[in-house]
Amino acid sequence: MPDRAAYNSRDSRCKSPYGAVPSGTKVQLTLRPLRAEGFSRATMSARFEFRDDATVTLNMPWSGLDGARDLFTCTLDTGDYVGLVWYSFGLERLDGKGRKMFGPYQLTVYDGGEVVPEWFGEGTTYQIFPDRFRRTRVPDPQGMVGGRWVHTAWQEEPEFRPDKNGEIRNRDFFGGDLKGVMEKLDYLQGLGVETLYFCPIFEAAENHRYGTADYRNIDPMLGTEEDFIQLCAMAHQRGMRVMLDGVFNHTGYVSRYFNGDGFYPTPGACQSEDSPYRSWFNFIHWPDQYESWWGIYSLPAVNEHDPSYRNFIFGGQDSVVRRWLRAGADGWRLDVADELPDDFVRGIHEAARAEKPDAVIIGEVWEDGSTKVAYGVRRRHIMGRHCDGLMNYPFRNAVLSYLKGGDAADFVNAMETLRENYPRFAYYSAMNSLGTHDTARILTLLGAEEGCEHQSKEWRSNYRLGPDQRRRAKELLKLGAALMFAFPGSPTVYYGDEAGMEGFEDPFNRRTFPWGREDSELMGWFSRLGHLRKQSPALRQGDIHYRVGKGPVLAFTRTHGEETVLAVFNTGSEEATLRLRENEEAQLLLGSARFHTEPEGPLLTLQPRTGSLLQIVPVPEEEEE
């Protein structure tokens, strides 16, 4: 086991400043071996990965004693470098016979030359799958792209069976529309929502609309451009922002650009080599063999290096990115950001900021975004001037593991690894969620028995939690939601999770919102969390400090200025206790934790499978007479 007391990158005695640093920072590094080990010489070696692995070796002179430990210190100057640095240490004894190595450790050096807007990470985000949220009428699909059909009843089950050709085509629609969202803005405001994140809203053949047919046209089943402008204006009047889904890695086979089925009157890339869109796609053999996303023929991949495509998406004054920001959007979430070249992402970022200085770009990344490698290239997602934040699937994975009986220590370690690796702007602008359109419903995951993934899709379509399963799942969901709302980054609610929706994978996680059949207990809980988040500077911007992370018990504080909020959680099946500091009292904001004053000091009692948020109030010291 490594001697973490000799070097711990999260300890200010060993490394300062903490975590990721802007370029130009001089980082002080200190080794602290036991004096009894007899080390007399220390060196530090730093490899600058984004500078062709150039390596710098520095001597670490002896700098004093700290109790029983020698101190060896050096300063690493990051200069104008932006990227990852991997640094290691070596210790030698005077006789040269003993050597000890530490590392490598990661240092993220980012471009700190711009101010990243803070609005996204501070407030609650609500993710809307447009076809399934709210409809104001049963639409007529005649004349629309894709050969769609519409469910007459809102409560029907989404179609999941293959068609006669064995394909799952996603052409069944329910007719959710933008006017339906407008009707429910007061509802969303009542949840404390500050950002509306829409899955794609542009014209497309499939109900998920991730195979874009026309980037310049709102899907007619959703409404018109005027409807979108009105929705944005109404949202802004309520203090909400609007984020769109940018699907720029691929288009639809059925699209104005590829035009695989000939729906559009002008020739697409697969119809004519003279098409203005021909260079957008990579044909292996024109016109029937081409690169596509994950080999799915209906999603032909675009060539993001093509000048005309780049100009269309972000280069021109009327580019897609700028056009919809002008219409009222406030930011973009980039679908499959790993599959977009870094300079393409940077171009989107520059265009967005040029059009709207406080526009935000969030990337879809499923792993630690600081070390992500895609197609053999280390990505620059959060090195500055690319993505302002990422979808935080590592957070979701860590929360799920904890809720299902995992050790709170694992959650703390996973999140502290991210906090250490991420620039502060990226950590605080993360999109934290318990569920999305790409994952099973959180309530189902928390309540269903093991082995359901081996059942047939027909079985999973009919599955619902039993009363005892649902009760337990709701307890854990309330705990998980409180954890999400108390954590740095934007708490993101997938539509209907607050209403108690269930369902396994797509399309069962994309059922219609159960208007009139919501779970009132969960609705009330999410609403209270949303308003606490909106009102508390500590929850919006505060630093995080862990107090306990062991077994089923997790506790941390968020502090901003004079305000400190304590978040406490117990996933166990038995009552747990947490001792506060002697000069503290706790006022309950949300939950069921009980505060007691005892001779040994203040104590919190945590009920099984609960989470609570409390205001920490310092107790004034008594003046001596």
Mean pLDDT of the 256-282 span? 97
Residue 622 confidence (pLDDT): 59
Residue 165 confidence (pLDDT): 87
Q: What's the CATH number where 45 sits?
A: 2.60.40.10
Count of positions (residues) in the chain: 625
Residue 601 confidence (pLDDT): 83
Residue 623 confidence (pLDDT): 53
- Specify the residue for token string 């007399």: 40
Contact 341, 379 (CB under 8 A): no
Look at residue 119 and tell me if it is in a domain.
Answer: no
Mean pLDDT of the 318-325 span? 98
Q: 425 by DSSP, 3-state: which?
A: helix
Which pairing describes strands 172-173 and 553-560: parallel, antiparallel, or unpaired? unpaired
With a cut of 90, say whether residue 619 has pLDDT above it. Answer: no
The one-letter amino acid at 89: F
Cα 351 to Cα 9, 114, 335, 357, distances in angstroms = 37, 15, 17, 10
CA–CA dist 134, 329 (Å, integer): 20
User: Does residue 583 share a domain with residue 455?
Assistant: no
Q: 457 by DSSP, 3-state: which?
A: helix
Which of 509, 395, 514 has its CA nearest to residue 445?
Answer: 509
pLDDT class of 2 with cuts at 50, 70, 90: low
312 phi, psi to nearest 5 deg: -65, -40
Mean pLDDT of the 218-234 span? 98
Look at residue 6 and tell me if it is in a domain.
Answer: no
Look at residue 70 and tell me if it is in a domain.
Answer: yes
The one-character DSSP state at 311 is I
CA–CA dist 559, 537 (Å, integer): 8
Query: Other CB atoms closer than 10 Å to residue 103's CB: what's the count?
Result: 16
User: Does residue 271 share a domain with residue 346?
Assistant: no
Q: Where are the alpha helices (DSSP H) in 503-612?
A: 520-535, 537-541
Mean pLDDT computed over every residue of the chain = 96
CA–CA dist 213, 251 (Å, integer): 7
The answer, yes or no, to whether the previous bond of 599 is cis (omega within 30 of 0) is: no
Classify the phi-psi angles of 375: left when phi > 0, otherwise alpha if psi is within -120 to 50, otherwise beta. Answer: left
User: Does residue 216 share a domain with residue 86?
Assistant: no
Look at residue 105 and tell me if it is in a domain.
Answer: yes
User: Does residue 240 share a domain with residue 174?
Assistant: yes
Q: What's the CATH number where 530 sits?
A: 3.20.20.80
User: Does residue 131 share a domain with residue 204?
Assistant: yes
Report how far apart the first and last C-alpha atoms of the chain are (Å, whole number).
53
Mean pLDDT of the 210-221 span? 98
User: Does residue 354 share a domain with residue 420?
Assistant: yes
CA–CA dist 37, 24 (Å, integer): 35
With a cut of 70, say whether residue 625 has pLDDT above it. Answer: no
CA–CA dist 147, 252 (Å, integer): 14
Contact 257, 202 (CB under 8 A): no
Contact 540, 563 (CB under 8 A): no
Residue 491 confidence (pLDDT): 98
What would the pLDDT profile of 444-479 be if each residue is shown by its tens digit? 999 999 888 889 999 999 999 999 999 999 999 999
Mean pLDDT of the 279-298 span? 96
Q: How many domains does the chain have?
A: 4
Those residues with Cβ within 8 angstroms of residue 530's Cβ, 6 or more apart along the chain or in another chain = 124, 191, 192, 193, 485
Look at residue 562 and tell me if it is in a domain.
Answer: yes
Among 58, 84, 110, the domain-final residue is: 110
Query: Other CB atoms closer than 10 Å to residue 35's CB: what's the count?
Result: 14
User: Does residue 594 share a domain with residue 508?
Assistant: no
CA–CA dist 207, 507 (Å, integer): 10
With a cut of 50, say whether residue 1 has pLDDT above it. Answer: no
Cα 488 to Cα 17, 51, 392, 483, 491, distances in angstroms = 20, 32, 11, 10, 8
Look at residue 434 and tell me if it is in a domain.
Answer: yes
Contact 173, 282 (CB under 8 A): no
Please give the structure tokens belonging to residue 537.
Answer: 């500077």
User: Does residue 440 share a domain with residue 428?
Assistant: yes
Query: Other CB atoms closer than 10 Å to residue 9's CB: what's the count?
Result: 17
The number of C-alpha atoms within 13 Å of 111 and in the hemisphere containing its C-beta is 13
Which of 249, 184, 168 has its CA nearest to residue 211?
Answer: 249
Kindly state the greatest CA–CA separation across the chain: 94
Among 484, 505, 535, the domain-final residue is: 535
Where is 333: in which H helix or E strand?
strand 331-334
Among 303, 328, 347, the domain-final residue is: 303
The residue range of the domain holding 55 is 15-110
CA–CA dist 201, 526 (Å, integer): 26
What would the pLDDT profile of 536-570 be if each residue is shown by its tens digit? 999 999 999 999 999 999 999 999 999 999 999 99
With a cut of 80, say whether residue 620 has pLDDT above it. Answer: no
Look at residue 625 and tell me if it is in a domain.
Answer: no
Look at residue 88 and tell me if it is in a domain.
Answer: yes
Q: In what order do the strands lie in the sheet with 543-550?
A: 543-550, 553-560, 563-570, 610-618, 584-590
Q: What's the CATH number where 576 sits?
A: 2.60.40.1180
CA–CA dist 139, 148 (Å, integer): 11
CA–CA dist 530, 540 (Å, integer): 11
Residue 356 confidence (pLDDT): 98
User: Does residue 84 share a domain with residue 106?
Assistant: yes
Please give the structure tokens belonging to residue 76.
Answer: 């690493």
User: Does residue 177 share a domain with residue 67?
Assistant: no
User: Does residue 470 share a domain with residue 572?
Assistant: no
Please give the structure tokens belonging to residue 377.
Answer: 């290239």
Contact 286, 294 (CB under 8 A): no
User: Does residue 556 share a domain with residue 490?
Assistant: no
Crossing angle of helices 393-403 and 467-486, rounded to 10°: 130
Catalytic residues: 335, 364
Contact 440, 501 (CB under 8 A): no
Contact 461, 508 (CB under 8 A): yes
Contact 227, 179 (CB under 8 A): yes
